[in-house]
Amino acid sequence: MGKVLTFGIAKEITGGGVVDVPFENGITAGGLRTLLQSTYPRLKELKSFALAVNGEYAVADQLINDTDEIAIIPPVSGG
């Protein structure tokens, strides 16, 4: 179980700025992404979304632990 920060449209989809997600330590970022999509199917409607781990964009095979700061990054739209 770990905490995932959410922003923008992802906050609305998941219903909170921080959500608890039941994942095992050592899951890959790609695996967590799939788990999030099955838990919150509306994430699949987004143009894209990335995961950030400890403030950096994650790559798909990166391993994640529940002590990491994890965030869902929906399509950015600053500027």
Partner 1 sequence: MLMNGDNKSVSMTDIRISDLPLNIQSCIDWVQSPESGGIDVFLGTVRNATKGRKVQHLEFEAYEPMAIAEMKKIADAVIAKWPVNKILIYHRTGKLAVGEIPVIIAVAAAHRGAAFDACRYAIDTLKETVPIWKKEVFEDGEVWVAAHP
Name the residues that contact partner 1, by CB under 8 A. Answer: 5, 7-9, 12, 45-47, 52, 55-57, 71, 73-79
Contact 71, 4 (CB under 8 A): yes
To the nearest whole angstrom, how small is the minimum distance from the Cβ of residue 74 to partner 1? 6
Closer to partner 1 by CB, 24 or 57: give it. 57
To the nearest whole angstrom, how small is the minimum distance from the Cβ of residue 36 to partner 1? 15
C-alpha separations of 19 from 6, 7, 10, 61 in Å:
8, 11, 11, 22
